[in-house]
Homo-oligomer: A and B are copies of this chain.
Amino acid sequence: MNSKVGVLGGGQLGRMLVEAANRLNIQVNILDAQNAPAKQISNHPGHIEGSFKDAAAIEKLAKTCDVVTVEIEHVDADVLAEISTSVKVEPSPKTLQIIKDKYAQKVHLQKFGIPTAESVEVTGTDEASQITELEAIGGKIGYPFMLKSKTEAYDGKGNYPVKSAEELKPAVNALGKGSRPLYAEKWANFTKELAVMVVKTKDGVLAYPTVETVHEDSICKLVFAPARVPEGIREKAEELARKTIAAFDGKGVFGVEMFLLDDGELLINEIAPRPHNSGHYTIEACPLSQYDAHLRAILDLPIPVESLKMREPAIMLNILGGQTPDSHIKVAEVALSNPRTSVHLYGKGEARKGRKMGHLTVTAPTMAEAEKHITPLIEAVDAQKGVETKSILSAPKGSPEVAVICGSDSDLPVLKAGFEILEKLQIPYYCGVVSAHRTPDRMVEFAKAAKSKGFKVIIAAAGGAAHLPGMTASDTSLPVIGVPVKASSLDGWDSVVSMTQMPRGTPVATVGVNNSTNAALLAARILGVSDAAIQQRVRDFAKNNEKEVLAKNARLEEIGPLAYLCKD
């Protein structure tokens, strides 16, 4: 913990790395311009003034520290290779060399069997030959495709979506008129963009949870953590991200961006060999931030794997420069009034349009609540930008935590009172017909997937033999509440017995015959164990019932029972 760290680049990523280092009292020496964001919060004589692309400056930095790392990949990897004989460089210069060239990155990934979009190199070095080549490539991989600069590309700069052969000339024109090395990438028809922050240590490859990124004008705007996709896809993405980074040398954190396709398949889009915008949320949402993790990884300090898990769902919103020089301050001022938002401003002076000036992170007990809190903040960012806000909600009513299933649609009238209670207590719910005997496969599938769909409690209503609650409970670890429905015979006794008398090992929480009110209230109490807002609403509901009864009694005492009975 007495090592000194040198960093090429002192932007916002460097600044947040310094913030993590400050807490551990680890000295970080920044190579960048004099008042770079990272230098502003680190007061010692060890910083180097200059460009992180300047060989002499890099060599000077190397002499001041024990390990050199980067906050940007557009550095001179050859110089890093040279200095790596005298100082540790993490991640390895070879890794930086491969990753900074996006085409080399793709070729490398394919060598390791990592799925990526089909990429074709453009070998020509003048405008005319590049266009000719691209005509052939367009014919092969189809339109639209993405024309990309191999190097120096970030935040959408260096990318050009080519919709047809007519656009080849303007595309090549925009990307250096033949002077820059290019490649073409087959269009990925993705449904969502996902990202995973991966930590490579001396001992192994760890992953943070999979997040969902939303881009606007090719710049990251929002990050939803965890991604609002089924748990199975999140797990697959984490596994793919770990496998991807295992293919590279060196230590530190890596951002792995990927496409989720229609069919559930994942393609790697791009890798960043450093902390990444999609990992900002870890500062508030995880015990260990991506910046802490990067420091620890390059210094061989311990990283307990559980410290990469999230405490709460989070949403990150970039504060991009708007139409005025103080647009970021205006957004921050709105955010200060939100109880669940952390505000980060980077110290970049006046806002320039589209520049990353800061970010906001909302954390909340549920994603639905986080979405509610972030919405007015997105509006504030969009207002500064002068654009209209699109809804980001995963579902109009929020992500339901209660699933209400019934054996037949004829049970729905019995459930109506329960739905009304759930709405009154502002608990979003799903409702569907699942029959134990007529759709046994659907029942098993539903029960097995319930947890990964985000449900926390299941209410199952059934009449007669009423196997639905018990069978559902057999295929999930969630609490299942059974509502016995009075059928044509036996007055509901059949269902009460079928639900209460489950064998030891598989409980069903049985409520009264036809009493969906109590099923809903019980679900609310269960959610209330970990959701103080819901628990409060349950208390308010009871208080209200008490008041109603007391009011009726006051009336009864006042006018006497006979008048009370005649009151209508």
A192 within 8 A of B: no
Q: Which of B312, B338, B479, B496 lies in contact with A304, CB distance below 8 A?
A: B338
A61 → B minimal CB distance (Å): 17
Q: Across the interface, do A287 and B363 meet the contact criterion of CB distance under 8 Å?
A: yes
A525 touches which of B44, B339, B478, B504 (Cβ 8 Å): B478
Partner among B301, B506, B511 whose Cβ is within 8 Å of the Cβ of A521: B506
Q: Mark A497-537, 1 if CB is under 8 A from B, else 0.
A: 00011101111111111010111011001111110000100
Does A19 belong to the interface (CB within 8 Å)? yes
Contacting pair B502 A307 (CB below 8 A): no
Instruction: Please give, as numbers and ranges, the residues of chain B lying within 8 Å of A484 by CB-CB distance.
Output: 500
Contact, CB under 8 Å: A25 / B511: no
CB distance from A444 to the nearest CB of B (A): 14
**Cβ-based interface call for A345 (8 A):** yes
Report how many residues on chain A are interfacial, defined by Cβ distance under 8 Å: 83
Query: Min CB distance, A218 to chain B, in Å?
Result: 26
Known: A500-B500, A504-B417, A510-B511. A477 touches B23 (CB 8 A): no
A376 within 8 A of B: no
CA distance A150 to B243 in the complex (A): 65
Task: Assess whether A343 is interfacial by the CB under 8 Å rule.
Answer: yes
Which residues of A from 303 to 343 have beta carbons under 8 Å from B?
Answer: 304-307, 311-312, 329, 332-333, 336-343
A354 interface residue per 8 A CB criterion: no
Total copies of the chain? 2
Q: Is A4 an interface residue (CB 8 A)?
A: no
User: Is A39 engaged at the interface, CB distance under 8 Å to the other chain?
Assistant: yes
Q: Which residue of B lies closest to A312 (CB)?
A: B311
Tell me the minimal C-beta distance from A458 to chain B in angstroms. Answer: 10
Q: How far is the CA of A343 from the CA of B1 in the complex (A)?
A: 12
Separation in Å of the A376 CB from the closest CB of chain B?
Answer: 13
Chain B residues within 8 Å of A511, by CB:
500, 502, 507-510
State the CA gap A456–B526 with chains docked (Å): 9
Sorted nearest first, the 5 A-B pairs with minimum C-beta distance are A530-B530, A509-B509, A507-B518, A304-B339, A306-B339
> Could you give 29 example pairs across A and B, Cβ below 8 Å?
A2-B329, A19-B22, A22-B40, A23-B342, A23-B343, A23-B344, A40-B42, A41-B41, A41-B43, A287-B340, A296-B336, A301-B336, A302-B337, A457-B529, A477-B528, A478-B525, A478-B528, A479-B528, A479-B529, A502-B512, A502-B518, A505-B518, A505-B541, A505-B545, A507-B511, A508-B511, A509-B511, A526-B526, A529-B530
For the A-B complex with A306-B340, A500-B500 known, give 13 more contacts whose Cβ atoms are closer than 8 Å: A2-B329, A19-B19, A25-B347, A41-B41, A287-B341, A287-B363, A304-B338, A305-B339, A477-B535, A477-B542, A481-B509, A507-B522, A530-B530
